[in-house]
Amino acid sequence: MKKILVDGFALSENNLVGVSNYTWQIIKHIANTGSKFNLDVAFLPPFNKEIEQDIKDLQTQGKLKLSPISDKFLWTQVGLASKTFLKFPSVLFSTRHTLPIISNPFTKKVLTVHDVGFEKYHSKENVEMNKKSLKRALKVADKIIAVSEYTKSRLVEVLKINPDKIVVIHEGVDFKKYNDAKNDSKKIEEVKSKYNLKNYILHVGTIQPRKNLKTQFAAFAKFNLEASQLEDIDFVVAGSNGWDFEDILAKPESLNINDNVKFVGRVSDEDLPYLTAGAKLLSFVSLEEGFGLPVLNAFAAGVPVVTSNNSALKEIGQDVAVLVSPGNVDQISDAYRTVYFNEILQLDLCDKGIKKAMLFGWDKAAEKTIQLLESL
């Protein structure tokens, strides 16, 4: 039986988003496929509280093993590296842009790359640190998983990686969870009441410059001048503070829309499907994304989407969402107006979105990942 050692470091993060969500979903779905792998998850105690019981249940059921590594600062280069010698896995699978420089030479290494956007949208210190770490990992990886064709193209163009080394495996969406939510009007109203909401445009994501919220706020301010005469509309931001967020939080006041922009923080996994399903539309006009899971979640929930005409967002949203230039305030504002007040267009976009979301399941992502791991 092939032994797969998985880097589960991200499972200890406080918020199960981005890489940590991907890590959990891919581990959970591989474990539940009944594959013939001996799955061993290395982790930094303690687990995120949302998944702690679930992953321990998988251990109790014999679907995976858990291997704690307690030293946070030497976790990858010493702790994880030593596991490859002590446990002798066939494959080491890292989900988070890093691999040990030195590890068991008989262990194949697989690395998932989510995006290379840090090159443009982070501080100079973080850019250099992330780029150096990623370059080292890419060099020692036997195979690389890119979560979109766009991410693959960036790896080839920016970091000069051999395209034959890269396999594109899209992330997944919890289709049933979001699609069921759109039909539960009672729960939708409960969640809207919890956050004191009525009619709203939704944005989901960490508050940071790459999410382009200042431009979306400016577009909303222009849209709201007209729309507010018909009904009271809010722009809701669901996400925790990231880096360089202070100016973003201050922007609504300078646009005189402070009362209509609601920062609700990170929303729980239980509430998010209903908050999404209750929105009039999703605004996800980022400067760049390696994938864009909130877009797929909205598709599954039957919510129309306005998103960027670039990066992986174009790849996912083509012919299904309204695509706009992320730097064009007028174009974004016009898109809000067109979608918000056109019920026929809303229905068309919702129907197309649901069909598109059905193509992106975590079970499919797990199946393709298993096929790759088995090939090594």
Asked whether the predicted pLDDT for residue 137 surpasses 80, the reply is yes
What local confidence, expressed as pLDDT, does residue 141 receive?
Answer: 98
Segment 341-362, tens digit of pLDDT: 999 999 999 999 999 999 999 9
pLDDT grade, residue 297 (50/70/90)? very high
Q: pTM to 2 decimals?
A: 0.93
What local confidence, expressed as pLDDT, does residue 208 receive?
Answer: 93
pLDDT grade, residue 119 (50/70/90)? low
Asked whether the predicted pLDDT for residue 228 surpasses 90, the reply is no
pLDDT grade, residue 121 (50/70/90)? low
Residue whose entry in the numeric block shows the structure tokens 């001996």: 38
pLDDT grade, residue 230 (50/70/90)? confident
Q: Which CATH architecture is the domain 3-172+361-375 placed in?
A: 3-Layer(aba) Sandwich (3.40)
248: exposed, middle or buried (Cβ count in 10 Å: 0-12, 13-18, 19+): buried
Total Cβ atoms within 10 A of residue 281: 22
Classified as helix, coil or strand, 277 is helix
Cα–Cα distance measured from residue 39 to residue 9, given in angstroms and rounded to the nearest whole number: 15
What local confidence, expressed as pLDDT, does residue 124 receive?
Answer: 58
Asked whether the predicted pLDDT for residue 17 surpasses 90, the reply is no
What local confidence, expressed as pLDDT, does residue 127 receive?
Answer: 62
Q: Find out whether 332 and 352 touch, Cβ atoms under 8 Å.
A: no
Q: Find out whether 364 and 29 touch, Cβ atoms under 8 Å.
A: no
Tell which residue, 297, 257, 305, has the closest CA to residue 275.
297
297: left (phi over 0), alpha (psi -120 to 50) or beta: alpha
Topology at the third CATH level for domain 175-357: Rossmann fold (3.40.50)
What local confidence, expressed as pLDDT, does residue 100 receive?
Answer: 96
pLDDT grade, residue 35 (50/70/90)? confident
Q: What's the mean pLDDT in 54-68?
A: 97
Say yes or no: do domains 3-172+361-375 and 175-357 share a fold: yes
Q: What's the mean pLDDT in 106-126?
A: 78
C-alpha dihedral, 313 to 315 to 318 to 324, nearest 10°: 30
Minimum mean pLDDT range among 95-99, 300-304, 320-324: 95-99
DSSP states of 290-343 as a string?
Answer: S--HHHHHHHHTT--EEEESSHHHHHHHTTTSEEE-TT-HHHHHHHHHHHHT-H
Q: Taking the CA of residue 12 as centre, how many other CA atoms within 13 Å lie in the half-sphere pointing to its CB?
A: 15
Bond into 46 cis (ω within 30): yes
Asked whether the predicted pLDDT for residue 122 surpasses 80, the reply is no
Asked whether the predicted pLDDT for residue 223 surpasses 90, the reply is yes
pLDDT grade, residue 170 (50/70/90)? very high
Q: What's the mean pLDDT in 235-245?
A: 94
pLDDT grade, residue 131 (50/70/90)? confident
What local confidence, expressed as pLDDT, does residue 118 receive?
Answer: 63
Residue with the larger pLDDT of the pair 349 and 127: 349
Cα–Cα distance measured from residue 337 to residue 229, given in angstroms and rounded to the nearest whole number: 13
Total Cβ atoms within 10 A of residue 254: 13
What local confidence, expressed as pLDDT, does residue 125 receive?
Answer: 57
Six token digits for residue 86: 């002590």
Mean per-residue pLDDT of the chain = 94
What local confidence, expressed as pLDDT, does residue 229 receive?
Answer: 85
Cα–Cα distance measured from residue 154 to residue 45, given in angstroms and rounded to the nearest whole number: 34
Where are the chain's structural domains? 3-172+361-375, 175-357
Six token digits for residue 148: 């979109």
Classified as helix, coil or strand, 68 is strand
- SS3 for 330-370 is HHHHHHHHHHHCCHHHHHHHHHHHHHHHCCCEHHHHHHHHH
